[in-house]
Amino acid sequence: MTYKTQMEAARKGIVTPQMEIVAKKEHMPIETLMERLAKGTVIIPANINHKSLDPEGVGEGTRTKINVNLGISKDCNNFDVEMEKVNKAIEMKAEAIMDLSSYGKTREFRQTLVEKSTAMIGTVPIYDAVGFYDKELKDITKDEFLKVVRTHAEDGVDFMTIHAGLNRATAERFKKNSRLTNIVSRGGSLLYAWMELNNKENPFYEYYDELLDICREYDVTLSLGDACRPGSIADSTDASQIEELIVLGELTKRAWEKDVQVMIEGPGHMAINEIAANMILEKRLCHGAPFYVLGPIVTDVAPGYDHITSAIGGAIAASNGADFLCYVTPAEHLRLPNLDDMKEGIIASKIAAHAGDIAKGIPNARDWDNKMSKARQELNWEGMFQLAMDPEKARRYRAESMPENEDSCTMCGKMCSMRNMNKIMEGKDLNILRD
Protein backbone atom coordinates (compact mmCIF):
# COMPACT_ATOMS: atom_id res chain seq x y z
CA MET A 1 0.00 0.00 0.00
CA THR A 2 1.17 3.53 -0.74
CA TYR A 3 0.34 6.86 0.82
CA LYS A 4 0.99 10.54 0.23
CA THR A 5 0.44 12.06 3.69
CA GLN A 6 0.60 10.99 7.31
CA MET A 7 -3.19 11.37 7.46
CA GLU A 8 -3.70 9.09 4.47
CA ALA A 9 -1.33 6.48 5.93
CA ALA A 10 -3.24 6.48 9.22
CA ARG A 11 -6.55 6.08 7.39
CA LYS A 12 -5.13 3.11 5.49
CA GLY A 13 -3.73 1.50 8.64
CA ILE A 14 -0.09 2.07 7.61
CA VAL A 15 2.37 2.72 10.46
CA THR A 16 4.98 5.23 9.25
CA PRO A 17 8.44 5.75 10.77
CA GLN A 18 7.28 9.22 11.87
CA MET A 19 4.30 7.73 13.72
CA GLU A 20 6.56 5.30 15.58
CA ILE A 21 8.82 8.13 16.76
CA VAL A 22 5.92 10.35 17.85
CA ALA A 23 4.10 7.54 19.66
CA LYS A 24 7.24 6.82 21.68
CA LYS A 25 7.83 10.50 22.50
CA GLU A 26 4.24 11.01 23.61
CA HIS A 27 3.86 7.72 25.55
CA MET A 28 0.84 7.10 23.34
CA PRO A 29 -0.30 3.73 21.93
CA ILE A 30 0.32 3.69 18.18
CA GLU A 31 -3.32 2.73 17.62
CA THR A 32 -4.50 5.84 19.48
CA LEU A 33 -2.12 8.06 17.54
CA MET A 34 -3.27 6.64 14.20
CA GLU A 35 -6.93 7.09 15.13
CA ARG A 36 -6.33 10.76 15.95
CA LEU A 37 -4.25 11.32 12.81
CA ALA A 38 -7.03 9.81 10.72
CA LYS A 39 -9.60 12.13 12.34
CA GLY A 40 -7.36 15.18 12.03
CA THR A 41 -7.15 15.94 15.76
CA VAL A 42 -3.40 15.20 15.68
CA ILE A 43 -0.93 16.17 12.97
CA ILE A 44 2.67 15.18 12.22
CA PRO A 45 4.09 17.95 10.00
CA ALA A 46 6.72 16.10 7.98
CA ASN A 47 7.48 17.20 4.42
CA ILE A 48 8.81 14.29 2.36
CA ASN A 49 11.85 16.44 1.46
CA HIS A 50 12.81 17.36 5.04
CA LYS A 51 15.36 14.60 5.63
CA SER A 52 16.88 15.90 8.87
CA LEU A 53 13.53 16.19 10.69
CA ASP A 54 12.99 14.70 14.14
CA PRO A 55 9.18 14.48 13.86
CA GLU A 56 6.72 15.77 16.43
CA GLY A 57 3.01 15.29 16.95
CA VAL A 58 0.75 18.28 17.57
CA GLY A 59 -2.78 17.97 18.88
CA GLU A 60 -5.05 15.88 21.07
CA GLY A 61 -3.24 14.20 23.94
CA THR A 62 0.26 15.37 22.93
CA ARG A 63 2.64 17.71 24.70
CA THR A 64 2.08 21.39 23.91
CA LYS A 65 4.71 22.37 21.34
CA ILE A 66 6.38 25.74 20.80
CA ASN A 67 7.42 27.63 17.68
CA VAL A 68 10.22 30.16 17.20
CA ASN A 69 9.97 32.92 14.56
CA LEU A 70 13.08 34.22 12.81
CA GLY A 71 14.27 35.21 9.34
CA ILE A 72 15.81 37.90 7.19
CA SER A 73 14.15 41.29 6.70
CA LYS A 74 15.15 44.33 4.65
CA ASP A 75 16.30 46.23 7.73
CA CYS A 76 18.08 43.23 9.31
CA ASN A 77 19.36 40.99 6.54
CA ASN A 78 22.35 39.29 8.17
CA PHE A 79 22.23 35.64 7.10
CA ASP A 80 24.78 34.53 9.71
CA VAL A 81 23.01 36.20 12.63
CA GLU A 82 19.71 34.52 11.79
CA MET A 83 21.46 31.16 11.38
CA GLU A 84 22.99 31.62 14.84
CA LYS A 85 19.43 31.98 16.14
CA VAL A 86 18.53 28.75 14.34
CA ASN A 87 21.34 26.92 16.12
CA LYS A 88 20.25 28.28 19.51
CA ALA A 89 16.58 27.40 18.90
CA ILE A 90 17.53 23.80 18.04
CA GLU A 91 19.88 23.62 21.04
CA MET A 92 17.02 24.79 23.30
CA LYS A 93 14.76 22.09 21.82
CA ALA A 94 12.12 24.29 20.21
CA GLU A 95 9.92 21.89 18.28
CA ALA A 96 9.34 24.27 15.35
CA ILE A 97 11.01 27.17 13.57
CA MET A 98 9.10 29.55 11.30
CA ASP A 99 11.19 31.25 8.65
CA LEU A 100 9.54 34.63 8.08
CA SER A 101 12.20 35.87 5.66
CA SER A 102 10.98 38.56 3.30
CA TYR A 103 14.11 40.01 1.71
CA GLY A 104 17.31 38.99 -0.01
CA LYS A 105 18.47 35.39 -0.36
CA THR A 106 15.30 33.91 1.10
CA ARG A 107 15.52 30.59 -0.74
CA GLU A 108 19.16 30.04 0.15
CA PHE A 109 18.34 30.70 3.81
CA ARG A 110 15.28 28.41 3.69
CA GLN A 111 17.15 25.54 2.05
CA THR A 112 20.01 25.78 4.54
CA LEU A 113 17.50 25.87 7.39
CA VAL A 114 15.67 22.76 6.17
CA GLU A 115 18.93 20.92 5.58
CA LYS A 116 20.22 21.39 9.12
CA SER A 117 17.07 21.64 11.25
CA THR A 118 15.77 18.71 13.26
CA ALA A 119 12.82 20.95 14.21
CA MET A 120 9.83 21.20 11.90
CA ILE A 121 9.96 24.22 9.59
CA GLY A 122 7.14 26.60 8.76
CA THR A 123 6.89 29.54 6.36
CA VAL A 124 4.43 32.17 5.17
CA PRO A 125 4.81 32.09 1.37
CA ILE A 126 3.10 35.44 0.76
CA TYR A 127 5.93 37.15 2.70
CA ASP A 128 8.32 35.82 0.08
CA ALA A 129 6.24 36.59 -3.01
CA VAL A 130 7.08 40.27 -3.47
CA GLY A 131 10.82 39.68 -3.28
CA PHE A 132 10.63 36.39 -5.22
CA TYR A 133 9.15 38.11 -8.27
CA ASP A 134 10.60 41.59 -7.66
CA LYS A 135 7.25 43.16 -8.47
CA GLU A 136 4.61 45.11 -6.61
CA LEU A 137 2.01 43.18 -4.64
CA LYS A 138 -0.87 44.32 -6.87
CA ASP A 139 0.77 42.82 -9.96
CA ILE A 140 1.33 39.30 -8.61
CA THR A 141 -1.02 36.76 -10.21
CA LYS A 142 -2.77 33.80 -8.59
CA ASP A 143 -0.48 31.42 -10.51
CA GLU A 144 2.54 33.24 -9.15
CA PHE A 145 1.23 32.98 -5.57
CA LEU A 146 0.75 29.24 -6.03
CA LYS A 147 4.20 28.88 -7.60
CA VAL A 148 5.78 30.34 -4.44
CA VAL A 149 3.83 27.80 -2.36
CA ARG A 150 5.12 24.98 -4.57
CA THR A 151 8.70 26.28 -4.29
CA HIS A 152 8.49 26.26 -0.50
CA ALA A 153 7.01 22.75 -0.60
CA GLU A 154 9.79 21.50 -2.88
CA ASP A 155 12.36 22.99 -0.49
CA GLY A 156 11.05 20.79 2.35
CA VAL A 157 8.89 23.12 4.45
CA ASP A 158 6.73 21.09 6.87
CA PHE A 159 3.90 23.57 7.39
CA MET A 160 2.80 26.78 5.70
CA THR A 161 0.64 29.59 6.97
CA ILE A 162 -1.94 30.41 4.30
CA HIS A 163 -4.61 33.04 5.02
CA ALA A 164 -7.32 31.31 2.99
CA GLY A 165 -10.15 32.27 5.35
CA LEU A 166 -10.04 35.96 4.45
CA ASN A 167 -12.46 35.86 1.52
CA ARG A 168 -14.61 38.65 0.10
CA ALA A 169 -17.40 37.93 2.57
CA THR A 170 -15.00 38.08 5.53
CA ALA A 171 -13.61 41.34 4.17
CA GLU A 172 -17.09 42.82 3.98
CA ARG A 173 -17.76 41.77 7.59
CA PHE A 174 -14.54 43.54 8.59
CA LYS A 175 -15.61 46.72 6.80
CA LYS A 176 -18.98 46.77 8.58
CA ASN A 177 -17.45 46.24 12.05
CA SER A 178 -14.81 48.83 12.88
CA ARG A 179 -11.74 47.82 14.87
CA LEU A 180 -9.29 49.71 16.99
CA THR A 181 -6.28 48.10 15.27
CA ASN A 182 -7.78 46.93 11.94
CA ILE A 183 -5.99 43.89 10.43
CA VAL A 184 -2.66 43.27 12.18
CA SER A 185 -1.70 39.99 10.52
CA ARG A 186 1.09 40.82 8.07
CA GLY A 187 0.01 38.12 5.62
CA GLY A 188 -3.64 38.97 6.15
CA SER A 189 -3.09 42.66 5.49
CA LEU A 190 -1.15 41.90 2.29
CA LEU A 191 -3.94 39.68 0.98
CA TYR A 192 -6.62 42.19 1.97
CA ALA A 193 -4.68 44.88 0.09
CA TRP A 194 -4.32 42.60 -2.97
CA MET A 195 -8.06 41.88 -2.96
CA GLU A 196 -8.95 45.57 -2.68
CA LEU A 197 -6.43 46.72 -5.29
CA ASN A 198 -7.54 44.10 -7.81
CA ASN A 199 -11.21 43.83 -6.86
CA LYS A 200 -10.83 40.05 -6.84
CA GLU A 201 -11.37 37.11 -4.51
CA ASN A 202 -8.50 35.87 -2.30
CA PRO A 203 -6.61 33.54 -4.67
CA PHE A 204 -5.87 31.07 -1.87
CA TYR A 205 -9.61 30.80 -1.21
CA GLU A 206 -10.74 30.77 -4.83
CA TYR A 207 -8.13 28.20 -5.89
CA TYR A 208 -8.05 26.28 -2.63
CA ASP A 209 -8.19 22.89 -4.35
CA GLU A 210 -4.98 23.66 -6.25
CA LEU A 211 -3.35 24.66 -2.97
CA LEU A 212 -4.45 21.37 -1.41
CA ASP A 213 -2.99 19.41 -4.32
CA ILE A 214 0.44 20.95 -3.65
CA CYS A 215 0.18 20.22 0.08
CA ARG A 216 -0.84 16.62 -0.58
CA GLU A 217 2.02 16.03 -3.04
CA TYR A 218 4.71 16.95 -0.47
CA ASP A 219 2.76 16.26 2.75
CA VAL A 220 2.83 19.90 3.78
CA THR A 221 0.61 20.62 6.76
CA LEU A 222 -1.70 23.52 6.04
CA SER A 223 -1.61 26.08 8.85
CA LEU A 224 -4.78 28.03 8.17
CA GLY A 225 -3.84 31.58 9.10
CA ASP A 226 -5.95 33.97 11.14
CA ALA A 227 -5.84 37.12 9.05
CA CYS A 228 -8.44 38.68 11.36
CA ARG A 229 -6.75 37.82 14.62
CA PRO A 230 -7.12 40.62 17.20
CA GLY A 231 -4.16 42.98 17.48
CA SER A 232 -5.52 44.54 20.67
CA ILE A 233 -7.69 43.30 23.51
CA ALA A 234 -10.37 45.73 22.25
CA ASP A 235 -10.76 43.69 19.04
CA SER A 236 -10.83 40.16 20.45
CA THR A 237 -13.72 37.75 19.84
CA ASP A 238 -15.35 40.20 17.43
CA ALA A 239 -17.40 39.59 14.29
CA SER A 240 -14.39 39.55 11.93
CA GLN A 241 -12.48 37.00 14.00
CA ILE A 242 -15.48 34.67 14.35
CA GLU A 243 -16.54 35.01 10.70
CA GLU A 244 -13.07 33.93 9.59
CA LEU A 245 -13.02 31.05 12.09
CA ILE A 246 -16.25 29.69 10.59
CA VAL A 247 -14.68 29.79 7.13
CA LEU A 248 -11.54 28.06 8.45
CA GLY A 249 -13.73 25.25 9.79
CA GLU A 250 -15.22 24.75 6.33
CA LEU A 251 -11.76 24.78 4.73
CA THR A 252 -10.54 22.24 7.27
CA LYS A 253 -13.14 19.70 6.16
CA ARG A 254 -12.22 20.26 2.50
CA ALA A 255 -8.54 19.64 3.29
CA TRP A 256 -9.32 16.43 5.18
CA GLU A 257 -11.25 15.17 2.15
CA LYS A 258 -7.89 15.21 0.32
CA ASP A 259 -5.94 13.73 3.28
CA VAL A 260 -4.16 17.06 3.86
CA GLN A 261 -3.19 17.73 7.48
CA VAL A 262 -4.45 20.98 9.00
CA MET A 263 -3.94 23.16 12.04
CA ILE A 264 -5.74 26.41 12.82
CA GLU A 265 -4.02 29.63 13.84
CA GLY A 266 -5.61 31.79 16.52
CA PRO A 267 -5.28 34.99 18.57
CA GLY A 268 -3.55 37.28 19.11
CA HIS A 269 -4.31 39.85 21.83
CA MET A 270 -7.06 38.81 24.22
CA ALA A 271 -8.20 39.50 27.78
CA ILE A 272 -7.70 36.59 30.17
CA ASN A 273 -11.41 36.00 30.71
CA GLU A 274 -11.99 35.31 26.99
CA ILE A 275 -9.22 32.76 26.41
CA ALA A 276 -10.94 29.57 27.58
CA ALA A 277 -14.07 30.32 25.54
CA ASN A 278 -11.98 30.95 22.42
CA MET A 279 -10.28 27.57 22.77
CA ILE A 280 -13.71 25.89 22.92
CA LEU A 281 -14.94 27.91 19.91
CA GLU A 282 -11.99 26.85 17.76
CA LYS A 283 -12.25 23.19 18.65
CA ARG A 284 -16.00 23.24 18.01
CA LEU A 285 -16.03 25.27 14.78
CA CYS A 286 -12.91 23.61 13.33
CA HIS A 287 -13.87 20.05 14.25
CA GLY A 288 -11.10 19.39 16.76
CA ALA A 289 -8.21 20.42 14.48
CA PRO A 290 -5.03 21.34 16.42
CA PHE A 291 -4.96 24.98 17.53
CA TYR A 292 -1.86 27.16 17.14
CA VAL A 293 -1.94 30.45 19.10
CA LEU A 294 0.24 33.56 19.23
CA GLY A 295 0.29 34.21 22.97
CA PRO A 296 -2.46 35.22 23.51
CA ILE A 297 -1.08 38.54 24.76
CA VAL A 298 -3.29 39.47 27.71
CA THR A 299 -2.59 43.21 27.97
CA ASP A 300 -1.44 45.83 25.47
CA VAL A 301 0.59 48.06 27.79
CA ALA A 302 3.83 46.12 28.38
CA PRO A 303 6.16 46.61 25.39
CA GLY A 304 9.53 45.15 26.33
CA TYR A 305 7.81 42.48 28.45
CA ASP A 306 5.50 40.80 25.98
CA HIS A 307 7.23 37.46 26.52
CA ILE A 308 5.55 37.65 29.94
CA THR A 309 2.15 38.88 28.74
CA SER A 310 2.10 36.08 26.16
CA ALA A 311 3.29 33.40 28.59
CA ILE A 312 0.38 34.23 30.87
CA GLY A 313 -2.06 33.87 27.99
CA GLY A 314 -0.25 30.85 26.57
CA ALA A 315 -0.48 28.93 29.83
CA ILE A 316 -4.22 29.60 30.06
CA ALA A 317 -4.71 28.72 26.38
CA ALA A 318 -2.72 25.49 26.65
CA SER A 319 -4.54 24.41 29.79
CA ASN A 320 -7.83 24.90 27.91
CA GLY A 321 -6.89 22.99 24.77
CA ALA A 322 -4.37 24.96 22.67
CA ASP A 323 -1.86 22.56 21.15
CA PHE A 324 0.91 24.78 19.79
CA LEU A 325 2.27 28.09 21.10
CA CYS A 326 4.07 30.62 18.95
CA TYR A 327 6.68 32.26 21.11
CA VAL A 328 6.72 36.00 21.74
CA THR A 329 9.91 37.83 22.70
CA PRO A 330 10.56 41.00 24.75
CA ALA A 331 11.13 42.76 21.41
CA GLU A 332 7.57 42.12 20.14
CA HIS A 333 6.01 45.28 18.64
CA LEU A 334 9.41 47.04 18.85
CA ARG A 335 12.06 45.45 16.60
CA LEU A 336 13.49 42.21 15.24
CA PRO A 337 14.51 40.10 18.25
CA ASN A 338 18.20 39.44 18.88
CA LEU A 339 19.67 36.21 20.24
CA ASP A 340 19.04 37.12 23.89
CA ASP A 341 15.45 38.16 23.12
CA MET A 342 14.90 34.84 21.37
CA LYS A 343 16.19 32.88 24.35
CA GLU A 344 13.90 34.77 26.73
CA GLY A 345 10.96 34.13 24.43
CA ILE A 346 11.70 30.41 24.17
CA ILE A 347 11.94 29.96 27.94
CA ALA A 348 8.74 31.92 28.57
CA SER A 349 6.89 29.89 25.95
CA LYS A 350 8.25 26.58 27.26
CA ILE A 351 7.08 27.51 30.78
CA ALA A 352 3.60 28.25 29.44
CA ALA A 353 3.49 25.02 27.43
CA HIS A 354 4.60 22.88 30.37
CA ALA A 355 2.17 24.57 32.74
CA GLY A 356 -0.61 23.82 30.26
CA ASP A 357 0.49 20.17 29.98
CA ILE A 358 0.28 19.74 33.76
CA ALA A 359 -3.27 21.11 33.72
CA LYS A 360 -4.28 18.92 30.74
CA GLY A 361 -2.92 15.79 32.43
CA ILE A 362 -0.46 14.99 29.63
CA PRO A 363 1.28 11.69 30.51
CA ASN A 364 4.51 12.16 32.50
CA ALA A 365 4.19 15.99 32.54
CA ARG A 366 4.22 16.12 36.35
CA ASP A 367 7.18 13.75 36.64
CA TRP A 368 9.62 16.53 35.78
CA ASP A 369 8.22 18.76 38.54
CA ASN A 370 8.25 15.93 41.06
CA LYS A 371 11.91 15.19 40.32
CA MET A 372 12.75 18.88 40.82
CA SER A 373 10.83 18.95 44.11
CA LYS A 374 12.71 15.88 45.28
CA ALA A 375 16.06 17.51 44.43
CA ARG A 376 15.02 20.63 46.35
CA GLN A 377 13.95 18.59 49.36
CA GLU A 378 17.38 16.91 49.33
CA LEU A 379 19.15 20.25 48.75
CA ASN A 380 20.74 18.58 45.74
CA TRP A 381 21.94 21.62 43.85
CA GLU A 382 23.50 19.74 40.96
CA GLY A 383 20.31 17.75 40.55
CA MET A 384 18.29 20.99 40.46
CA PHE A 385 20.57 22.47 37.81
CA GLN A 386 20.28 19.40 35.59
CA LEU A 387 16.48 19.44 35.84
CA ALA A 388 16.10 23.21 35.33
CA MET A 389 14.47 24.49 32.15
CA ASP A 390 17.43 26.88 31.84
CA PRO A 391 20.38 25.20 33.63
CA GLU A 392 22.80 27.95 32.63
CA LYS A 393 20.83 30.69 34.35
CA ALA A 394 20.17 28.60 37.46
CA ARG A 395 23.90 27.85 37.86
CA ARG A 396 24.82 31.50 37.32
CA TYR A 397 22.38 32.78 39.93
CA ARG A 398 23.65 30.30 42.50
CA ALA A 399 27.30 31.17 41.74
CA GLU A 400 26.69 34.93 42.00
CA SER A 401 25.76 34.71 45.68
CA MET A 402 27.19 31.69 47.45
CA PRO A 403 26.05 31.02 51.07
CA GLU A 404 28.22 30.35 54.09
CA ASN A 405 26.68 26.87 54.36
CA GLU A 406 26.41 24.67 51.28
CA ASP A 407 23.07 23.22 52.39
CA SER A 408 21.35 26.62 52.10
CA CYS A 409 21.16 29.70 49.88
CA THR A 410 21.71 33.39 50.66
CA MET A 411 17.98 34.03 50.88
CA CYS A 412 17.37 32.03 54.06
CA GLY A 413 20.76 30.78 55.20
CA LYS A 414 20.45 28.41 58.18
CA MET A 415 16.74 29.29 58.44
CA CYS A 416 16.16 27.33 55.22
CA SER A 417 12.96 25.32 55.66
CA MET A 418 14.25 22.38 53.61
CA ARG A 419 17.48 22.20 55.64
CA ASN A 420 15.73 22.46 58.99
CA MET A 421 12.92 20.02 58.21
CA ASN A 422 15.46 17.48 56.97
CA LYS A 423 17.41 17.79 60.23
CA ILE A 424 14.30 17.56 62.43
CA MET A 425 12.91 14.59 60.49
CA GLU A 426 16.30 12.86 60.95
CA GLY A 427 16.31 13.64 64.70
CA LYS A 428 19.22 16.08 64.46
CA ASP A 429 19.91 19.43 66.18
CA LEU A 430 19.21 22.58 64.12
CA ASN A 431 22.19 24.78 65.18
CA ILE A 432 20.76 27.90 63.54
CA LEU A 433 22.89 30.33 65.56
CA ARG A 434 25.86 28.06 66.33
CA ASP A 435 28.58 27.15 63.86
Binding-site residues for [4Fe-4S] cluster: 409, 412, 416
In angstroms, the CA 78 to CA 71 distance is 9
Backbone angles phi and psi of 356, in degrees to 5: -65, -40
In angstroms, the CA 150 to CA 340 distance is 34
Show binding-site residues: 69, 98, 127, 163, 185-187, 226-229, 265, 269, 292, 333, 409, 412, 416
Dihedral class, residue 173 (left if φ above 0, else alpha if ψ from -120 to 50, else beta): alpha
| H helical segments located in 361-428 | 365-377, 381-387, 391-400, 417-425
Show binding-site residues for substrate: 69, 98, 127, 163, 185-187, 226-229, 265, 292
DSSP 215-270: HHHHT-EEEE--TT--SSGGGTT-HHHHHHHHHHHHHHHHHHHTT--EEEEE--B-
Show binding-site residues for Zn(2+): 269, 333
| H helical segments located in 56-185 | 79-91, 106-116, 125-133, 142-154, 168-176
Query: Under 8 Å CB-to-CB from 131, ≥6 apart: which residues?
Result: 102, 103, 104, 106
CB atoms near residue 16 (< 10 Å): 19
